[in-house]
Amino acid sequence: MASVLVTGSADGIGRETAATLAAAGHRVVLHARDEDRAAHARTAAPGAACVVGDLASLRQTRALAHAAAAHGPLDVVIHNAGLGGGRAERAVTEDGIELLFQVNVLAPYLLTALMPRPRRLVYLTSGLESVGVADLDDPQYERKPWDGMQAYSDSKLLDVVLAFAVARRWPGVLSNAVDPGWIKTRLGGPDATDELPEGAETQVWLATATDATATGRYYKRRRELRANPAAYDIAVQERLLSLCADLTGVALPG
């Protein structure tokens, strides 16, 4: 049985993923943004440990990494937590970093860099990564006009870039990206086409398959797809790692 951390497991796809893993007998470590949401997270896996930390804060993300590591060793980390697009205005965190970029990209990078290496890493992305732009000269929309959906698409592309970069840097770790589909959640909205179990199935499979050997891949419904071409560009991968290291003060080990 595997030991798995699922970030953002208070509701939606993360909660479904945690509940499915727990029901199958795996040891799940839950995560929630605050104590109120932690109570919701615990309903997915009663009795499971739950770590708390707001990914919109570098300080809290660092503390979260240490808290999660204390529940280790972890076999798998599923980077599920994230913010949706569509914000009308650019928002900035307490760290002076654009909110979508910090939560969707910088936080999973920092957790990856600070926590002991698991055997498997799964980064959730979106089909909108296909229209994302890896503009690492201005990833936080400091100079170009704000576009909430484009910023979201960009962040989801950078999640794939991060997954592929880690796969290349850490050959002993299976690091992959997953598009869960358009799922009926608070984030996906009532018009979404797919149900919660479909949104969790690929992450569960990647976390638990006994014959898993693939790394640096992009999946949807257990099928490998081609990602945005920028994700395969080693120069883009290295620039993203360097940018994240500069913003957090933490370099990816190895």
Task: Give the percent of the chain with pLDDT over 70.
Answer: 96
Kindly tell me if the per-residue pLDDT of 189 is higher than 70.
no
pLDDT of residue 194: 75
pLDDT of residue 126: 96
Residue 220 bears catalytic tag: no
pLDDT of residue 181: 85
Residue 123 bears catalytic tag: no
Kindly tell me if the per-residue pLDDT of 137 is higher than 70.
yes
The model's confidence at residue 252, banded by pLDDT at 50, 70 and 90, is very high
Q: Strand (E) positions, 74-151?
A: 76-79, 120-124
Kindly tell me if the per-residue pLDDT of 229 is higher than 80.
yes
Task: Please give the CATH architecture assigned to the domain spanning 3-248.
Answer: 3-Layer(aba) Sandwich (3.40)
Task: Give the percent of the chain with pLDDT over 90.
Answer: 90
pLDDT tens per residue, range 79-92: 999 999 888 999 99
Mean pLDDT, the chain, integer:
95
pLDDT tens per residue, range 25-80: 999 999 999 999 999 999 989 989 999 999 999 999 999 999 999 998 999 999 99
Q: Give the whole-angstrom CA distance, residue 39 versus residue 74.
A: 22
pLDDT of residue 72: 85
Kindly tell me if the per-residue pLDDT of 207 is higher than 80.
yes
Kindly tell me if the per-residue pLDDT of 171 is higher than 70.
yes
Helix (H, G, I), strand (E, B) or coil at 87: coil
Q: What is the 3-state secondary structure (H, E, C) of 183-235?
A: ECCCCCCCCCCECHHHHHHHHHHHHHCCCCCCCCCEEECCEEECCCHHHHCHH
Residue-range domain boundaries for the chain: 3-248
Burial class (CB in 10 A: 0-12, 13-18, 19+), 91: middle
**Which one from 109, 123, 141, 156 is the annotated catalytic residue?**
156
**Which one from 152, 184, 219, 232 is the annotated catalytic residue?**
152
Least confident of 123-127, 183-187, 228-232: 183-187
Structure tokens at 217: 């891949």
The model's confidence at residue 254, banded by pLDDT at 50, 70 and 90, is confident
pLDDT of residue 196: 77
pLDDT of residue 157: 98
Q: Pinpoint the alpha helices (H) of 80-189.
A: 99-101, 107-114, 148-169
Kindly tell me if the per-residue pLDDT of 186 is higher than 70.
no
pLDDT of residue 230: 98
